[in-house]
A and B are shown apart, each in its own frame.
Chain A
Amino acid sequence: MTAQVIELRGRGLGGGAVEGEALVTREAISGWGGIDPATGSVIESRHELCGVSFKDRILVFPGAKGSSGWSGMFHLARLAGTAPRAMVFNHLNTKIALGIVVTHVPAVTDLDQDPLTVIETGDHVLVDADTGLVRVTRRAALAPAGR
């Protein structure tokens, strides 16, 4: 079986490189009133990830929305040990920019392909904020069917 590896390139933010398992959502995430920093879970009742935790995962999402408490909540998540390991996203605003700064995680945006389409939850992802590289290894290649 051919390992399916896809590389995306964009603008690296924050610096550093990490690897981990992707958690992908097509819906923007609220910080304050949208996540619980104690568990790293999304709590917005109408969100498709409601109840799902991003702790130690590579969060792939459109961007940040909602209250100005976005950075504050992700800052608390870092202190509580529930922050995502990296962020890959499409839309830059002040909420996510400050959130990346205080969460101390690598991030990449402005990618040459839409990460929400290319990356699937469970894929293994390398995020290198120093070079802007996002390397995706398909879950299918990692765990063949029938295993």
Chain B
Amino acid sequence: MRLTDDEKRMLDGGEGEAVAAAMDLLVRYGEVLGAERLVDTDNVCGANIFGPRQFALCGAGAAHGGSGGAAAAVFAELSLDSPRPLELTPVRVQSYQLIGPMDTVNWQVQGLSQQAHDLIAESESYSARHGIHLMNTCTPYQVGNVPVKGEHCAWMESSAVVYINSVLGARTNCEGRESAAAAMLTGKIPYWGYHLPENRYGTHLVEVSVPVTSDRDWGLLGYYVGELVQEGVPVLDGRGEGSFTPNLVRLKHFGAAAASSGGVEMYHLPGVTAEAATVDEAFGPRGRPGSAEAIRYGPAERRWTYEQLNHTATDTHVDLVMIGCPHATLSQIRDVCRLLAGRRVHPDTALWVFTPRAIRQVAEQNGYGDALRAAGAVLMSDTCPAIGQFLPPGTRVIATDSAKQAHYLPAIMKVQGWFGSTAECVDAAVTGTWRGSAP
């Protein structure tokens, strides 16, 4: 890989040992990718908050009392692939923490011990002291980090990557913890994949022949498309009766689902997303595929997808209803409050709503927090059950309006998972029973 003079200086230790370790990691990573060079970035989202399990694996467990030294050792190993602690300098470029393991307000609801809380808090504080903004959400694009079209970014979090590439036209690959941390310290990332304009054109045409209007519809379509195109760049074409009504929430669900069943990091919804006004423009020099090669999405495919998403569930008694994957917008929180409409959550069921810390503050200001608590629900931020690996004690069955959460949570937490609309989920929270039905 070709390095510029400033990159060589970083590699040789001219900017300190942590920057040198970061540059070494980027060079090793770039060489495996086959990248020819690095590109400058001033917008990085990563994940550097660690819990007891990671501290223990790095030999920096509770025995060390969660001291700053332990946090440094864990950051060096897990964020920079360095077996020894490093003298960490402040991050060079705009850097943001994605979703983490702990809600700093409701950590006891999560079942965390005081000791676990203290370790995670120390890890969080270590990031903040080095200049990483504690956004603590999987959706930075809804709380103040909105990249512009063409901006080179280095983001983790597959649902956020697909959103900023497609909807906003920013340029990022799906980075991992170590490459994102290295980018924070160096302002560099391999120039590869979706950083190159020629890789951003469509690869698959998806002809949609059913209306795609509700949040649930968009999640189902995304899950189906991801399953079929895997890492391709799908182009959605609504045919005749197929009417699209996208908005932030629906495209958030669509992208998250497509990045879960497959590895979609970029798609085009011509006329809506940033880089194509028409289907032909979306395919660019690759050329529009013939209709015979198109993927079709109609009632049968929608039904199949619904069954895939519900295949882990048989018991209709629901222990937990989870809303907010990816993190809920203010409008989704409002919707849950309206659906509850004076009713209370069933005594045997929990209703947890997850949102970014910043949006929680507005939700509290607007009275949504009080409304949820009055109904017996919990408004949480910073984390989610899949990332933090927590559920109410004894949970066997969950329900969610997120295809992504329905995909991951049963695998991670060994529970049954129902997928349905937000209204069906709130109904399950109030009655304790899943009564959802296929579209």
- Assess the A76–B54 pair: CB atoms within 8 A: yes
Known A-B contacts A94-B174, A94-B179; the reply to A68 vs B158 at CB < 8 A is yes
A14 and chain B: residue at smallest CB distance: B32
Q: Which one, B78, B161, B231, contacts A75 given CB within 8 A?
A: B78
- Assess the A94–B193 pair: CB atoms within 8 A: yes
Known A-B contacts A33-B386, A68-B157, A80-B57; the reply to A94 vs B411 at CB < 8 A is no
Whole-angstrom distance from the CB of B259 to the nearest CB of chain A? 8
Whole-angstrom distance from the CB of B120 to the nearest CB of chain A? 16
- In the complex, which residues 62-88 of chain A have their Cβ closer than 8 Å to any Cβ of chain B? 65-72, 75-76, 79-80
Quick one: CB contact mask for A92-104 with B, threshold 8 Å, 1 for yes? 1111011111100
Q: Note all chain B residues with C-beta closer than 8 A to A80.
A: 57
Tell me the complex Cα distance, A81–B250, Å: 41
- Output the residue of B179, B311, B411 with the most chain A CB within 10 A: B411
Tell me the complex Cα distance, A99–B179, Å: 10
Q: Chain B at the A interface: mostly helix, strand, loop or mixed?
A: helix
Q: Note all chain B residues with C-beta closer than 8 A to A67.
A: 158, 259-260, 408
**Does B176 sit at the interface, judged by CB under 8 A?**
yes
Q: Chain A at the B interface: mostly helix, strand, loop or mixed?
A: mixed
**Does A44 sit at the interface, judged by CB under 8 A?**
yes
Q: Note all chain A residues with C-beta closer than 8 A to B308.
A: 46
Whole-angstrom distance from the CB of A95 to the nearest CB of chain B? 6
- Assess the B174–A76 pair: CB atoms within 8 A: no
Q: Note all chain B residues with C-beta closer than 8 A to A79.
A: 57-58, 77
- Assess the B33–A94 pair: CB atoms within 8 A: yes
A96 and chain B: residue at smallest CB distance: B32
- In the complex, which residues 46-84 of chain B have their Cβ closer than 8 Å to any Cβ of chain A? 47, 53-54, 57-58, 77-78, 81
- Assess the B178–A98 pair: CB atoms within 8 A: yes
Tell me the complex Cα distance, A14–B173, Å: 21
- Assess the A69–B54 pair: CB atoms within 8 A: no
Tell me the complex Cα distance, A92–B412, Å: 25
With A33-B411, A34-B411, A98-B179 given, can you name 13 additional A-B contacts, CB distance below 8 Å?
A65-B262, A67-B408, A68-B157, A69-B176, A72-B47, A72-B176, A75-B177, A76-B54, A94-B33, A94-B176, A95-B176, A97-B33, A102-B178
Interface residues of B (CB under 8 A from A): 25, 28-29, 32-34, 47, 53-54, 57-58, 77-78, 81, 156-158, 161, 173-179, 192-193, 230-231, 259-260, 262-263, 308, 311-312, 386, 407-408, 410-412
